[in-house]
Amino acid sequence: MGEVKLQALVVEDDVDIRDLLFTLLTVLGFEVREAANGQLALETLRGGFVPDLIVLDLMMPVMNGWAFRAEQRKIEGLRDVPVIVLSARRPPYREVDSTIEGAEILPKPFDLDTFLGAVVRHCPEAAIGPPSWFGAASRSIAGIVTAIRTPPGRFVS
């Protein structure tokens, strides 16, 4: 019998960040689907994909993270899927942020250890999955993650 993989959905409009998240989650043993905005993510979910984890950006074109989260929570069987929000927004959060209820919010740029810690908190099975080469690879991945910067104009005051 084959190994059952964890599944993750990455919803992020920045292709570089999306690619990095795809790589990190794949290394942890996830099967990863990607969406560049909330509308595409909803289509993926409504098409039958049931993730164990969703990683969500808030500020995206077409459908933002707040709207996605509100719709995702209405889908039977997907309401309680853990969500890690990566956002350039900083506290104090606005009233609209209450629509992402139940999500863990991590600031961009994000720290590798903080992100991986959040993944393992929500999907403890991921803690036993990384291949043996991950230790050496994480040093180079950490440099990439540390270098991530949200493009100018993406911050909301």
Spatial contact of 46 and 9, defined as CB atoms under 8 Å apart: no
Q: Which residue numbers in the chain have pLDDT < 70?
A: 1-4, 89-102, 127-157
Amino acid 90: pLDDT = 60
Q: Measuring CA to CA, which residue among 9, 49, 50 is closest to residue 32?
A: 9
pLDDT value, residue 99: 55
Instruction: Establish whether the linkage from the previous residue to 109 is cis, with ω within 30° of 0.
Output: yes
The answer to whether residue 13 sits within a structural domain is yes
- Single pTM value for the model: 0.77
Q: What is the pLDDT of residue 34?
A: 97
**Does 45 reside within a domain?**
yes
Classify residue 92: in a domain, yes or no: yes
User: Whole domain around residue 43: which residue ranges?
Assistant: 6-147
What's residue 66's pLDDT?
85
| 115 lies in some domain | yes
Distances (CA, A) of 80 to 18, 28, 29, 132, 147: 23, 21, 21, 32, 32
Q: What is the DSSP letter of 94?
A: P
Residue 21 lies in a domain: yes
For residue 75, the domain's CATH number is 3.40.50.2300
pLDDT score of 102: 67
* Tokens linked to 57: 């950006």
- The pLDDT tens digits for 83-92 are 999 887 665 4
Q: Is residue 152 part of a domain?
A: no
**154 located within any domain:** no
Nearest-CA neighbor of 60 among 33, 86, 81?
Answer: 86
How confident is the model at residue 16, as a pLDDT? Answer: 92
Number of domains forming the structure of the chain: 1
100 within a domain of the structure (yes/no) = yes
